[in-house]
Structure 1
Amino acid sequence: MGRPTEVRVRVPASSANLGPGFDSLGLALGLYDDVEVCATAEPGVHVEVEGEGAAQVPCDETHLVVRAMRTAWALFGDEPAGLRMRCRNAIPHSRGLGSSAAAAVAGAVAACVLSGRDPKLEQEALLQVTAGMEGHADNAAASLLGGFVVAWEQVGNTSARFHAVRLDVHAGIAPVALVAGVESSTKTTRGLLPELVPLPDAAFTGSRTALSVLAFTQRPELLMAATEDRLHQGYRRPAYPGSADLVDALRAHGVPAAISGAGPTVLALTTDGTLPGDVDTAGFTALPLPVDTLGAQVEIG
């Protein structure tokens, strides 16, 4: 493909971990950030932000999308002299719905297109860029590829590479994101995790992670067992007690539920997009969201 000067990228939100799959399982959700980028001959970066995070994120070269673009251009080359960018954000920030991964994917894909490359043919490189910025591939892979992803890191003698496999989600799963009214820091919640966990807990969580692949793709009736976790959610409970209580309440009513990513959003895996009426969701906004099946989408010109 030629080298366009304008591109629009739409990137879905994501929910990571899904209970036991810490840093390895992700699900793309139908809530989107839209980023429009124009390459200019005039040096400088101009950024406009609307929607989520508009009052908090920087509007200069330190914006995460711009940083992702430059990380990608270090690989692809052909960085333009200047940029004009407009972000229309619908993914809540610091809520556990992969807003930072979505921004990284949007920037990397935009840079790829503006370098005259086809992002569908460069998915491996794009995953390295975006997962490398995140430190793990679950959210980035889901936003890039769509659907349900299994992600892992292969550590070699001199470097590490990220990998992901995309799978189709069973049509009988209707996610509902219960978005908390407060924010959570991934750095803070990771700091609550122990360096060592008991072997029985590790074995339990490993079995549930394997079961998740079957449950999300073929056997949704197994989701209650498949979303059980003993690896991270219990240790993180002090960071989001209200969210942990909501997970417990939903599960007590027969709804498979887990903390979404680093929280404090809760992901409920319903069959029809509705929740039990007697579950108290005060302090949360319920968003029935379809599974996104396409991942990052590009419109040129």
Structure 2
Amino acid sequence: MQTILRIGTRGSPLALAQARETQSRLMAAHGLPEQAFEIVVIATSGDRIQDRPLSEAGGKGLFTKEIEEALLERRLDIAVHSSKDMPTTLPDGLELSAFLPREDARDAFIGKAARRIADLPRGATVGSSSLRRQALIRRMRPDLDVVMFRGNVNTRLRKLEEGVASGTILAYAGLKRLGLEHVITDLMSLDDFPPAPGQGAICIESRAGDADTHALLAAIHDVPTGQALACERAFLAALDGSCRTPIAGYATVADGQLSFAGLILSPDGAQSHEVRSAGLASDAARLGDAAGREVRAKAGETFFDGWA
């Protein structure tokens, strides 16, 4: 059978699991066989750069640049991404056309020296590549040594086994998609350890105006997830989505109503500013933008300038 859709993805085990989930949902929605789809693996700059934080190397776009180029060159029909990896501004001619139902957005702690961060010995080392997680760990336990921890999920778990750190934090959703829930020693609460905007949600990017592809994707798009992500991404955009300022944001949608909580922190976790808002889910993007502007006003422009 002729390939109907070429699905672009990074090559990590988690990225491939997300691409296969997208494929399975499309097969079920349209009664199509597996051979109607081709999963195309593309190496990204973010995968190749392992020796420094992404904030120093160029930011979130490093995980999407080469895949988006392939989309624009028509070597792909769609691209499957982790929503939290997506820049708030997309290249001209591309758009986010669908979101799959969101997984649990919480972070998970994997501890070797203790089951919970609170129980780690004083001065213990915790590894994370995320500025948000680093800042939240430092806010909880200023005595801990927080170190940069790059690599895919399996690489980070291997580093933990090798004793590079006493613990690390990974997205619960990713561990579930990989069948690795058994490694988790503690789940972080959404209130004490809020997630990154987009965490737990798979998004699908396509060429703007591609009506045939959009018709296929409409059948698997989850409306509440799309509304929640519209709010979170607008919040991030209002803050310029800085990779050098730790930002958390999480929206929930129920019965047409949206609730949002956002947080910005200093990298050392010592300073923070929160915002909460609620309203109609259909007004998601405006609510997120207003929340971003509100927290920016609370913090003042020097808060953002201080960590650049």
With normalisation by structure 1, the TM-score equals 0.27
Q: Relative contact order (alpha carbons < 8 A, sep ≥ 6): 1 or 2 greater?
A: 1
With normalisation by structure 2, the TM-score equals 0.27
More helix by share: 2
